[in-house]
Amino acid sequence: MIRHLFTLIWNRKRSNFLLISEILLSFFVLFVVSSLLVSSYYNYRQPTGFAYDNVWEINVSPGQDTANRKEMVQLMMQQLRATPGVVAVTITGSNTPFAFSTMNSNQYMYKGKQAPMTDWYRVDDDMPKVLKFNLTHGRWFDRRDDAATNNEPVVINQKMASEMFGQEAPLGKVLTDRESKAKWQVVGVVDAYRPGSAFAANDPAIFFRDDLSEAATKVDPNERPILLVRVQPGSGAVLEQQLVKKIQNVTKGWHAIVNTLEENRHDKMKVVLTPLVALGVVSLFLIINVALGLFGVLWYNINQRKAEIGLRRALGATGSGIGTQFLGEMLVVTTLGVLAGVVLAAQFPLLGVFGLEPTVYILAIILAAVLIFVLTAICAFQPSRIAAGIQPAVSLREE
């Protein structure tokens, strides 16, 4: 039976080649789309590595006030910590969770191995109290690091540890820059940190201990203090007004804007989801166009082969046998197109085209193949039924 199907396909190789090409192109596009969608879903299922609930972000604008800014920031943080309903306060850089700001570098080296592009963050000792990091090795920054002279202490995430040290224990390892002038010693490892969005990948990350109140003294108007405040569950507008009022009373004229990380996450989600939804709509139109094309080609083939169908029926072939033949031909053609597509798709993980995990590519190939087979089976079902219902007398009389 299989040999017979291949013979029929070879006898109509010109039209079947065009059909295989269409299936190949459709599979390839579906594979690319599936890779992005599977990657997004895979990232969505991963832990964020921090707790964003009940955390507020306070953007403080000093305006033109440049006098005693460091003292102002320190006094402001003390007043906020003393406010009932506030659990912890930390000061951070502009690349806060779910912000539209990133800082990255690949300058880090270890035994001649260069790090991939790594996100870096300026933090203080109280950051874990606010975001509740999951430390898997070592510790977070504390006063013991005040005495560090030769090697600056850093904390990295598990992804960074795997990329740089492999199976080696990360604690105590020393990273350098390309010129080996700067040195950073790993004192702790957090499980994960995905502050970009719910669909962001768990990229390598490194945390630097920094006196951000000192950085806030810069005259540069773009360098504004950003505070993250963990509050008691259920805190609302009353506490928000109290915090803003305290900041204004302490700083004498500075302005403060309060947002929750939940709100920031929701805003970032809308921005991230927009291209994914657009991609899904484009993919849907592609599937519809492919389905219409396949249905039209099969309908045309049946009309062109009525004499063949009538002769086979006259020789005793059953209607179900005719329908099965057409469906089998379509599935064999689809298999040839999919196999060619799999060969092309297999180059993506080998070349690291999208920089995704190999598992993502494998799942995308399987998903694209299943979609193509289901699509062709659906499109071939009705034309096969039409072919099965053709009576020999009618088809031979038309010829």
**pLDDT exceeds cutoff 50 at 64:** yes
| Mean pLDDT of all residues in 66-94 | 86
pLDDT band at 320 (very low <50, low <70, confident <90, very high): low
Could you tell me if 102 and 120 are in contact, meaning their C-beta atoms sit under 8 angstroms apart?
no
CA gap 158, 394 in Å, rounded: 72
Task: Please tell me whether residues 31 and 6 are part of one structural domain.
Answer: yes
Task: Please tell me whether residues 237 and 332 are part of one structural domain.
Answer: no
Could you tell me if 389 and 317 are in contact, meaning their C-beta atoms sit under 8 angstroms apart?
no
Task: Please tell me whether residues 156 and 226 are part of one structural domain.
Answer: yes
Task: Please tell me whether residues 301 and 240 are part of one structural domain.
Answer: no
Please give the pLDDT value at position 212. Answer: 56
- Of residues 248 and 214, more confidence is placed in 248
Please give the pLDDT value at position 218. Answer: 44
Task: Please tell me whether residues 221 and 327 are part of one structural domain.
Answer: no
pLDDT band at 52 (very low <50, low <70, confident <90, very high): very high
How many residues does the structure list for the chain?
399
- Among 136-140, 222-226, 255-259, which stretch is predicted with the lowest mean pLDDT? 222-226
CA gap 44, 160 in Å, rounded: 20
**pLDDT exceeds cutoff 90 at 398:** no
Task: Please tell me whether residues 114 and 172 are part of one structural domain.
Answer: yes
CA gap 195, 78 in Å, rounded: 26
Task: Please tell me whether residues 243 and 367 are part of one structural domain.
Answer: no
**Strand partners of residue 119:** 104, 205
Give the rounded percent of residues in the chain with a pLDDT score beyond 90.
Answer: 34
Please give the pLDDT value at position 219. Answer: 39
| Mean pLDDT of all residues in 219-234 | 77
> Residue 342: which domain range?
2-46+268-398
Task: Please tell me whether residues 236 and 110 are part of one structural domain.
Answer: yes
Give the rounded percent of residues in the chain with a pLDDT score beyond 70.
Answer: 81
Q: Which residue has the tokens 């850089």?
A: 93
Could you tell me if 80 and 256 are in contact, meaning their C-beta atoms sit under 8 angstroms apart?
no
Please give the pLDDT value at position 215. Answer: 45
Task: Please tell me whether residues 177 and 110 are part of one structural domain.
Answer: yes
Q: Which residue has the tokens 């006196």?
A: 211
| Interval 5-47: pLDDT, tens | 556 555 566 667 777 888 888 888 889 888 888 888 888 888 8
pTM: 0.79
Helix (H), strand (E), coil (C) string for 119-150: EEEEECCCHHHHHCCCEEEECCCCHHHHHCCC
pLDDT band at 381 (very low <50, low <70, confident <90, very high): confident
Q: Which helix (H) or strand (E) holds 246?
A: helix 237-251
Task: Please tell me whether residues 193 and 284 are part of one structural domain.
Answer: no
| Interval 170-226: pLDDT, tens | 999 999 998 888 899 999 999 999 999 988 888 999 999 986 545 444 434 456 788
**Strand partners of residue 206:** 120, 156
Is 226 part of any domain? yes
Of the candidates 120, 118, 115, the residue with the CA atom closest to the CA atom of residue 165: 115
CA gap 97, 390 in Å, rounded: 65
Please give the pLDDT value at position 149. Answer: 73
Q: Please calculate the CA angle 144-146-148 and round it to the nearest 5 degrees.
A: 90
Task: Please tell me whether residues 345 and 383 are part of one structural domain.
Answer: yes
The b/e string for 142-155 (b: 16+ C-beta within 10 A; e otherwise) is eeebeeeeebbbbb
DSSP for 150-174 reads SSEEEEEEHHHHHHHHTTS--TT-E
Task: Please tell me whether residues 93 and 226 are part of one structural domain.
Answer: yes
**pLDDT exceeds cutoff 90 at 228:** yes
Last residue in a domain, options 197, 230, 253: 253
CA gap 117, 49 in Å, rounded: 19
The tally of domains found in the chain comes to 2
**pLDDT exceeds cutoff 80 at 278:** yes
CA gap 222, 205 in Å, rounded: 24
Is 242 part of any domain? yes
| Interval 293-313: pLDDT, tens | 777 777 777 666 666 666 666
Average pLDDT score, the chain: 82
